[in-house]
Amino acid sequence: MNRLSLLIGALLMSAPATAQTQPDWTLVIHGGAGVLERDKMTPEREAAARKGLDAALEAGSKVLAGGGSALDAVEAAVKVLEDDPHFNAGRGAVFTYEGTNELDAAIMDGADRKAGAVAGVTRTKNPIALARKVMEDSPHVMLAGKGADVFSAEKGLEQVGPEWFATDERRQQLEKMKAQKTSWFDVDMKYGTVGAVARDKAGNVAAATSTGGVTGKRWGRVGDSPLIGAGTYADNRACAVSATGAGEFFIREGVAHEICARIRFKGESLQAAADTVMAETRALGGTGGVIVTGPTGEMAWSFNTPGMYRGKVSAGSAKTVAIYGDEQ
């Protein structure tokens, strides 16, 4: 073997594992973060949550494995979680103080940073589909309240009555809050916001987030989930992020964009950036978590609560679903 062959061999051995080991696609999802501990979770509820997360991973990964876009994948995954009453989004959303359901959602395409969002919608079966309609079929980024409901009907999205969203468990949470005269911070320590981030075979990333907000919210309160840069953000130059937690603090920190900025401008890993921003959010008083994926196929999640409903899968790897903080 000549010196040139030896040199080439040495370079190949020492080269970082990049394109050769980079998965063709990735998908990470969440179903909320909070006080999720084994001794406070019934076996039935745990099993139902894991089943829902697995179904969302299955829906999103099917899109990606078939060569579909990251945007289609995150929408498909979030729709599954919106239809699952065990999560606080779509069906199973929490009640406002007045006993209604007001839904928020956002979606963003990292390829061109187009985004769509809705807040306070009341009739659309899948709010994430409405957020995408705003992005693709309107000149705007965000629509709210009655106007968003009108736009949804005009665009032919499936409309449902309030009974679709309502569940006995969520109604009991509202009644408990009113009876004990506590705030939503005391009642809603399981932030059920759902979200997904993905990278497709073309290297594009996307993010989607959907929520019912917080129990007993008033005066048209809107959290971080539908706010681009706070609870949802995607940029092919850095990453895609979906957040869950105490929205007011995530808005103040600008969590999703802050993570992407650290990756893009400081060259931090996804995990390092997410951990740093979550620590800064905690310092403000905010609890919750984030999921992240990037154009390199890296995946990460970070949360400062006892647990977070979460899952991930990539091309060539098995699905992973977890709830508690000590699960790898």
- Per the DSSP assignment, residues forming a β-bridge with 196 are 29, 208
What stretches of the chain adopt beta strand conformation (E)?
26-34, 103-109, 114-121, 142-144, 190-191, 194-199, 205-211, 232-235, 239-245, 288-293, 299-303, 307-314, 320-324
Q: Is residue 37 very low, low, confident or very high in pLDDT (cuts 50, 70, 90)?
A: confident
Residue 249 has pLDDT above 50, yes or no: yes
Task: Report long-range pairs for 147-151 (Cβ below 8 Å, ≥24 apart).
Answer: 148/118, 148/119, 148/120, 148/121, 148/124, 149/121, 149/122, 149/123, 149/124
- Strands 190-191 vs 142-144: parallel, antiparallel or unpaired: unpaired
Residue 290 has pLDDT above 60, yes or no: yes
Asked whether the whole model's pTM tops 0.75, one would answer: yes
Residue 292 has pLDDT above 80, yes or no: yes
Residue 258: which residues within 8 A CB-CB, separation 6 or more? 277, 280
For residue 183, the model assigns a pLDDT of 57
For residue 190, the model assigns a pLDDT of 55
The CA-based dihedral angle spanning residues 27, 32, 35, 36, taken in that order and rounded to the nearest 10 degrees = -50
Tens of pLDDT, residues 136-187: 999 999 999 999 999 999 999 999 999 999 999 899 988 888 888 765 544 4
For residue 137, the model assigns a pLDDT of 98
Tens of pLDDT, residues 84-133: 999 999 999 999 999 999 999 999 999 999 999 999 999 999 999 999 99
For residue 21, the model assigns a pLDDT of 77
| 255-270 mean pLDDT | 98
**Alpha carbon distance 201, 38 (integer Å):** 37
Instruction: Select 21-324's CATH number: 3.40.960.10, 3.40.50.300, 3.40.50.12780, 3.60.20.30.
Output: 3.60.20.30
Tens of pLDDT, residues 189-216: 455 799 999 999 999 999 999 999 999 9
For residue 147, the model assigns a pLDDT of 98
Show me where the domains of the chain are located.
Answer: 21-324
For residue 182, the model assigns a pLDDT of 62
Candidates 26, 122, 124, 193; catalytic one: 193
| 27-48 mean pLDDT | 88
The identity of residue 28, as a single letter, is V
Tens of pLDDT, residues 270-281: 999 999 999 999
Residue 14 has pLDDT above 80, yes or no: no
> Is position 124 annotated as part of the catalytic site?
no
Left (φ > 0), alpha (ψ -120 to 50) or beta: where does 172 sit?
Answer: alpha
Residue 20 has pLDDT above 60, yes or no: no
Which phi and psi (to 5°) does residue 30 adopt?
-140, 155
**Alpha carbon distance 285, 153 (integer Å):** 39
Residue 322 has pLDDT above 50, yes or no: yes
For residue 1, the model assigns a pLDDT of 41
